[in-house]
Amino acid sequence: MKIVVLDGYCLNPGDLSWRGLEALGEVTVYDRTPESLLLERARGADAVLTNKTPLGRETLAALPGLRYLGVLATGYNVVDAAAARERGIVVTNVPAYGTASVAQLTIALLLELCHHVGAHGESVRRGEWTASQDWSYWKTPQVELAGKTFGCVGLGRIGRQTARIAEALGMRVVAHSRSQGIGLEALLEQSDVVSLHCPLFPETRGLLGASQLERMKPSAFLLNTSRGPLVVEEDLADALNAGMIAGAGVDVLSVEPPTEGSPLFSARNCLVTPHIAWATREARGRLMEIATKNVSAFAAGAPENVVN
């Protein structure tokens, strides 16, 4: 079986091994694949693995020999799954590999908003503590989470794990999903922290815009480690700059990598990290293992984690 990995660098920048995949066939790994080279690289492959390189209907039509498409992620909107199904191409994803890591980064953003540990550490390095007249000082308000309300939007694996950590911090958890929990408006009004853990569908795109942000407490924090387009970024920046909410921590943006001048880069008390919640070595190792098992299962005639 000829296997082509179109964009393997983010999954494996050198600290993991492709040996498991190489045991299944002839493997070619590209760090990144620009659109201009996609067909040239994928042509003749029986199996193609992609993370963020898109494969739409026209591309699939130009690859008549393709039998398998493995998405190196949980979300698979980068692939036209319906077009693949029409052509008899099996599409799989990798679920549940990053639950612990994403929940951990979500809480890390929250704790940084509460304490701004990095800024205080840099302050000490600059000599501000040495020059201080007092034995203690703080440059931002310090926030205790115990007793406050954590609003979890989405109750999948990651949402539930994040909620468990919030409870361990002494927070009261309320939740909203399509099938259970309280209404979104009630959650926004009650919560001291709103954390997004829902998938991106047409109905969830722009889930939080100006009218929803207006319902949040002025002291509340917003967290998004799910999908960038869930939030209208211009509206979030406006809400932060106007003091409508107290702060935000986001690991995802609507365009990645972002264009220069994203409104959140200069927004008041807004932490933006470069989509790293999934990137612990442990999580990437699980992703590699499951992706390899997906290819193996397909080769054995019993595909797993099929999404189309």
User: 104: domain range?
Assistant: 99-272
The two structure tokens encoding residue 39: 């067909």
The answer to whether residues 93 and 110 belong to one domain is: no
CA separation for the pair 75, 84 (Å, rounded): 16
* Residue % of the chain over a pLDDT of 70: 100
Mean pLDDT, the chain, whole residue set: 97
Is residue 305 domain-resident? no
Distance CA 297, CA 303 (A): 5
Does residue 234 sit in the same domain as residue 289? Answer: no
- Residues 199-211: what's their mean pLDDT? 94
Whether 137 maps to a domain, the answer reads yes
Residue 307 domain flag: no
In 139-250, alpha helices (H): 157-168, 184-190, 210-213, 233-241
Q: Which helix (H) or strand (E) holds 119?
A: helix 117-125
Q: In terms of domains, do 18 and 36 share one?
A: yes
Give yes or no for residue 9 having a pLDDT over 90: yes
Q: How many domains does the chain have?
A: 2
Residues annotated as part of the active site: 227, 256, 275
Residues 137 and 254 occupy one common structural domain: yes
Are 109 and 152 within one domain? yes
pLDDT of residue 237 exceeding 90: yes
User: What type of residue is 260?
Assistant: E
Same domain, 124 and 262: yes
Q: Which two tokens stand for residue 84?
A: 């693949």
Minimal CA–CA distance to 39: which of 52, 55, 22? 55
Assess whether 26 and 158 both reside in one domain.
Answer: no
Is residue 237 domain-resident?
A: yes
212 & 254 share domain: yes
Residue 308 lies in a domain: no
In this structure, the answer to whether residues 129 and 150 fall within a common structural domain is: yes
Averaged pLDDT for residues 74-91: 96
Q: Are residues 264 and 117 in the same domain?
A: yes
pLDDT of 99 reads 97
In a domain, residue 306? The reply is: no
- Say if 64 falls within a structural domain: yes
CA–CA distance, 87 with 79 (Å, rounded to integer)? 13
Where does residue 170 fall: left (phi above 0), alpha (psi -120 to 50 degrees), or beta otherwise?
left
On the question of pLDDT at 62 being above 90, the answer is yes
Q: For residue 257, is the peptide bond before it cis, meaning its omega torsion is within 30 degrees of 0?
A: yes
Examine residue 304 and state whether it is found in any structural domain, yes or no.
Answer: no
CATH number of the domain within which 113 lies: 3.40.50.720
On whether both 115 and 226 belong to a single domain, the answer is: yes
pLDDT at 178: 87
pTM: 0.93
Asked if 259 and 285 touch (Cβ cutoff 8 Å), the reply is no
% residues pLDDT > 90 (the chain): 96
| Same-domain pairing of 223 and 287 | no
